[in-house]
Structure 1
């Protein structure tokens, strides 16, 4: 009976360790929303749904082909978002003029 209890305790302890160890997330949860002017001159909205973590994302619609950067970012994800003035997550955005974003 003592061995059974000892074995059961070891199995339960190992199970709790497996549950308690965090696993890395591959994506944030939520929406990142932004506004931009299209190449044709129209106001548009863009968004990223559940964007990848720790990856630079060039924002669709406002890449190098568009001379106007995006603006008015709204982070509705469960992660911090750092916005950049250039594609490839280069250049610090001080006036919220954006072309790329990374989530931490």
Structure 2
């Protein structure tokens, strides 16, 4: 093998490595769906859901969080990550409950925000 071939091969390998390091990794997300029940301003029962929610980011549930005094309830964690739900918006206040993957809770469990591991 000539010096020119070796130099070209090393250059190509270095370029590939730089390209690989420059491409950002995919964002971490819980795979699946998180469901919850809430009452609309008109008094109707509705189901809210989050599809493939981001991990490590607090998610304030809507629309209930936008309505004064409104809360969600009866969460069902159908994702592959643990969901920690909070009674207050922006994941503030005490931790209300932790739901492992596939678990749900009764309508007595109230929540306004959630974060996934």
Provide the TM-score with structure 1 as the length reference: 0.71
- The aligned counterpart of 1:98 is 111
Offset of residue 64 of structure 1? 3.7
Separation in 2, partners of 1:90, 1:37: 22
**How many pairs are equivalent?**
84
SS at match of 2:111: coil
After superposition, the CA RMSD in angstroms is 2.1
Separation in 1, partners of 2:26, 2:116: 14
**Structure 1 residue ranges without an equivalent (≥5):** 1-22
Offset of residue 55 of structure 1? 0.2
**Structure 2 residue ranges without an equivalent (≥5):** 1-24, 98-107
Alignment pair present for 1:60 and 2:62:
yes
Separation in 2, partners of 1:93, 1:33: 16
Contact 1:38 1:66 in 2 (8 A): no
Contact 1:81 1:102 in 2 (8 A): yes
Provide the TM-score with structure 2 as the length reference: 0.64
Separation in 2, partners of 1:69, 1:93: 13
